[in-house]
Chain A
Amino acid sequence: MKSLQALLQELLRTDEAGAPGSYPTSVPLYPVTDKQFKEAARALQLAGARLAGEWATDETRYRRGFGVFACYNRNAEYLLVKLQLHEEHPTFPSLTRKFPAAWRFERQIHSFMGIVPAGHPDLRPWIKHEDWPQGAWPLRKTFDPARPMPRVPGDYQWRRVEGDGVHEIPVGPVHAGIIEPGHFRFQVVGEDILHLEEKLGYVHKGIEKRFEALSWAEGARLAGRISGDSTVAHALAYSQAVESMTECTPPDRALWLRAVMLERERIANHLGDLGAIANDAALSFLFYQFMALREQMLRTNHGLFGHRLLMDGIRPGGVAADLPPDGAQRILDEMNGLLDRFEGLVTIYDENASLDGRLRGTGILTPEQAGELGVVGLVARASGQRLDCRIQHPRPPYDRVVPEVVVLNTGDVHARGWVRIEEVRESVRLIRRLLASLPSGETAIPWTPPAPDRTGFSAVEGWRGEILCWLQSGPEREINRCMVRDPSGVNWLGLERAILGNIVPEFPLCNKSFNQSYSGHDL
């Protein structure tokens, strides 16, 4: 199979391998024309590539107008295609009709950068709400983030289903449980869901813009608060992106400790999710059991890393602190006990007929749909997609301590639960191997902020899935742009699809099995 790079070089009639364009970058970058932007999309789609992200950057500080990036991935290959746009009336050809994931990427670009995706079928605001002024484009350099955003009258045009007996159920933004806010609009007949439309953006805190006001070091703290449950993964994605543009290679010990934290975060979240799935299927016994296991892990985190959720443990250059001398042994002991108790619970989970009845066949996202939508992470792996950045884009130590990727094909709630079960087992195995091979030495090295006009890229497999982080430095060596694509940026589409044909009371269960982030999505 021809590599994506070779394919693009042929298409663009260039022989520069991973042409760095006008500035250095840590991932192959191809500058293209308007026409080539579309052609590249077509060619890459035919070659089986996935549109992993699409974003825009304001490069007026470099007198280059705007840039629109499309990030493609297939297996181990990531590459970027960049279209440079003039400052006046910037538009670019929409990719939405080729890649469904582009639907929201491009609405977001339009809402926040004021660049028009020509041919896009739906330019309603996204994340930006209907009561923002039309011309407010927060990611432009001319936008003053300190000014409060006025409210203007506006109306959101929901998709409506019409017909006999069709009615609408609005849910949110404030939900019934202790969870994040978002709005779901169901079109139903009786209890059958004909259509679900999500409206998110309620927890938009201006994170991407906020990065531009912070130093590179402070950025790691903010990255750790993009989505509190994925603080390790986001801080790691940010740190790796910074390191990729500063030629900084953290010491091995730091890399190993980062991986231990990442796997601990995965286990803790999976435990919580398994409990929550059982709880939504009315087996609260398992909820309390799994929650107790999770709590034990958080306490160990606190004892060894100084924070229950591991916040601020990872920063560019390494990790914030080393393990205490007996740390590795304490983790190993904990893992032994945890796995024992976990397996006992899994047997109950597996053998419980009423749980099984609720989980199997509910909320199916078929492998075809998953591939078409471009979902990532455990949602993708439960629907037949072999996607995992730890394999696709291995950064040490994952090139040496290689994870087994678990892929299931049924795409239902049961599969999404079972992928988590297998991943807990696998993460325990990884942690044991990481600790057995834990290098000695320093845990951080000094680094200097990147030179002007550099870009950095990273892809990290958090517990939800692939996190992308793309950074660009400005003329004053400041952060000119920090793009974050949480797995939720694509996986929310999967929930909308998977719920069709199910009944309303199954929604909480389906939603829980996806458990996507609102904050990570809304930024």
Chain B
Amino acid sequence: MMRILRQLFRTGIMTEPFPSGAKAEIITVGAKLEEAIRRRFRRSLTIREVDAGSCNGCELEIHALNNPLYNCERFGIHFTASPRFADILLVTGPVSRNMEIAVRRTWMATPPPKFVIAVGDCGADGGIFGESYASLGGVAKVLPVDLIIRGCPPTPLALLRGILELVEKE
């Protein structure tokens, strides 16, 4: 226990004002995001992440949003296990044929008003997997998409920026 406490004190607060290189920009993005979430989502924006067929690259970066350096909860963003609680579905692609039904069902289980963000180059248009017998292509082939965040995979910063864009737009 002492070791844990010592480590905690030594580590201090790691959450960055913002990742190096883009500090100024992220401070603005973060502040705006927090403000928009407070105003429009009553301080809490709940996201259900859905892997519709991705290579897992996008998931790794979405995960990183929760690490202590990005700490997305400080803006009021949190990830939920159930689509029933979600405001936003963050869907990575391409949508595989074998996931199509589950993706549609997840969307149906999400109460309106709801938004869909397609994540990654594959979520945008199928990426390198294209459209085939096994891949339906981008998320928009299956769900109404409100916003696309490109990248292979998009960085945590790009993800935050995208979420802000959606929140400001709506």
A binds B: yes
B 112-151 to A, binary, CB cutoff 8 A, 1 in contact else 0: 0000000000000001111111111000000000000000
Cα distance, A118 to B77, chains bound together (Å): 54
Q: A174-B106, A181-B51 are in contact. Are A147 and B133 (CB under 8 A)?
A: yes
Give 27 A-B contacts (CB < 8 Å), ordered by A residue.
A176-B82, A178-B51, A178-B79, A202-B96, A203-B51, A203-B53, A204-B96, A204-B134, A205-B94, A205-B96, A205-B129, A205-B134, A207-B129, A209-B134, A210-B128, A210-B129, A210-B130, A225-B128, A228-B55, A228-B58, A289-B7, A291-B67, A292-B14, A295-B64, A309-B60, A311-B152, A352-B4
How far is B81's CA from A158's CA once the two chains are assembled, in angstroms? 26
Q: B-side interface residues toward A, CB under 8 Å?
A: 3-4, 7-8, 11, 14, 19-20, 49-64, 66-70, 79, 81-83, 94, 96-99, 102, 106, 127-136, 152-153, 155
Contact of A204 among B51, B98, B153, B155 (CB under 8 A): B98
19 new A-B pairs (CB below 8 Å) besides A272-B60, A289-B7, A347-B3? A138-B134, A145-B133, A145-B134, A146-B131, A176-B82, A203-B54, A203-B96, A204-B96, A204-B97, A205-B135, A207-B129, A225-B127, A226-B55, A227-B55, A291-B68, A292-B11, A292-B67, A292-B69, A308-B155
A residues in contact with B49, CB < 8 Å: 178
Contact assessment for A285 and B14 in the assembled complex, using a CB-CB cutoff below 8 Å: no
> Would A228 and B59 count as touching, CB distance under 8 A?
yes
In the complex, the answer to whether B54 meets A519 with C-beta atoms within 8 Å is: yes
Q: Which of A178-214 contact B (CB under 8 A)?
A: 178-181, 201-207, 209-210
Complex contacts, B96 vs chain A, CB 8 Å? 202-205, 522
Query: Nearest Cβ distance between residue A304 and chain B, in whole angstroms?
Result: 14
The answer, yes or no, to whether A163 is at the interface (CB within 8 Å) is: no
A222 located at the interface, meaning its Cβ lies under 8 Å from any Cβ of chain B in the complex: yes
Cβ-based interface call for A288 (8 A): yes
A292 to B53 alpha-carbon distance, docked (Å): 27
Inter-subunit contact B135/A206 (CB<8 Å): yes
Instruction: Name the B residues within 8 Å of A308 (CB-CB).
Output: 61, 155
Whether A517 sits at the interface, judged by CB under 8 Å, is yes
Would you call A348 an interface residue if the criterion is a C-beta within 8 Å of the partner chain's C-beta atoms?
A: yes
Q: With A177-B81, A181-B51, A291-B68 as given contacts, are A309 and B129 in contact (CB-CB < 8 Å)?
A: no
The answer to whether A231 has its CB under 8 Å from any CB of chain B is yes
Closest Cβ–Cβ distance, residue A470 to chain B (whole Å): 20
- Which residue of chain B has its CB nearest to the CB of A127? B98
Interface residues of A (CB under 8 A from B): 129, 136, 138, 143-149, 173-174, 176-181, 201-207, 209-210, 218, 221-222, 225-229, 231, 272, 285, 288-289, 291-292, 294-295, 298-299, 302, 308-309, 311, 344-345, 347-348, 351-352, 517-519, 522
Question: In the complex, A206 Cα to B53 Cα: how many Å?
Answer: 11
Question: What A residues does B58 contact at CB under 8 A?
Answer: 228
A215 to B69, CA, bound (A): 40
Cβ–Cβ < 8 Å partners of A173 in chain B: 99, 102
A176 touches B81 (CB 8 A): yes
* Chain A contacts for B128, CB-based, 8 A: 210, 218, 221-222, 225
Is there an interface contact between B133 and A148, defined as CB atoms closer than 8 Å? Answer: yes
How far apart sit A65 and B11, CA to CA, in the bound complex (Å)? 63
Cα A207 to Cα B133 with chains together (Å): 11
A152 to B29 CA separation, bound complex (whole angstroms)? 48
Which A residues are in CB contact (< 8 Å) with B59? 178-180, 228
Contact flag A210-B132 (CB < 8 Å), given A180-B54, A203-B96 = yes
Given the known interface contacts A204-B96, A205-B135, A348-B7, the answer about A174 and B55 at a Cβ–Cβ threshold of 8 Å is no
| Smallest CB gap from B103: residue in A | A174
* CB pair A298 B7 closer than 8 Å: no
CA distance A144 to B131 in the complex (A): 12
Quick check: A295 and B57 within 8 Å, CB to CB? no
Nearest residue (CB) in A for B102 is A173
Closest Cβ–Cβ distance, residue A492 to chain B (whole Å):
15
Shortest CB-to-CB span from B157 to chain A, Å, is 10
Taking a contact as CB atoms under 8 Å apart, the answer to whether B134 and A225 are in contact is: no
Bound CA span A218–B129, Å: 12
